[in-house]
Homo-oligomer: A and B are copies of this chain.
Amino acid sequence: MISQAIEDYLKTIYKLQHGGTENERVTTSVIADRMGVAAASATNMIKKLAEMHLLVHTPYQGVGLTGAGRKIALETIRHHRLIELYLAQALGYPWDQIDAEADRLEHAISEEFEDRIDKALGYPTIGAHGEPIPTKQGKIEDLDYPRLSDLETGQPAIIRRVSDRNPEMLRYMDQMGLQLGTRVEVREKAPFSGPLQLKIDADKEEALGLEVAYNIFVDLAP
């Protein structure tokens, strides 16, 4: 009934509704783009999901998940994030490889499997890239941290979340010593969208491009 494709669409739509800036419409083309399919394919699936009452579609305007749709999205996201954390912690995967593996496994595991890895991990609430893990009941914390690229110079901060979209970028962060919990401070911002001079962990200082800083989210440190 609920196929892998449906789960992936609902997950993507949920993340588009919440991840982005508020009040941005989740349109056919945005969904198609994120899913890596043609716009017509997205239209088809949106129509089908609307018929299943998993979302509401206002033609030419965009979509919004219903309670039922959000439930499935959050369940899929929970699977994804628990699996990612399990791969990292129990099997020693590097953090740039877990997303791709979890994208397939999230559809294949049972509730039993979910419960067992949840227990093995000690009922975690934060995933391997710092995202909140939805509960089994479908609740999710909304942590929204400022981006490192928006941080004021001289303000110490701690890395709390990173985007997992680009594995190469994750590998680069690793190489720079940027992980969850790492203490950072912007020393200087180069003009014309230039790189920022970043103090990392009190011992080194490196230049970091804005695009990378845009994908790192921080907590202001005292």
Contact = CB atoms under 8 A, between A and B. Distances in A.
How many of these chains are in the complex?
A: 2
Interface residues of A, number: 19
Interface stretch (A57-65, A113-121, A187-195): A113-121
Interface stretch (A27-35, A41-49, A99-107, A150-158): A99-107
A143 interface: no
A3 to B, nearest CB: 13
Contacts of A123: none
Contacts of A93: 112, 116
20 contacts: A87-B113, A90-B90, A91-B113, A91-B116, A91-B117, A91-B120, A93-B112, A93-B116, A97-B112, A100-B110, A101-B109, A101-B112, A101-B113, A104-B108, A104-B109, A104-B110, A105-B105, A105-B108, A105-B109, A108-B108
Given A87-B113, A93-B116, A107-B108, 15 more contacts: A91-B116, A91-B117, A92-B116, A93-B112, A97-B112, A100-B110, A101-B109, A101-B112, A101-B113, A104-B108, A104-B109, A104-B110, A105-B105, A105-B108, A105-B109
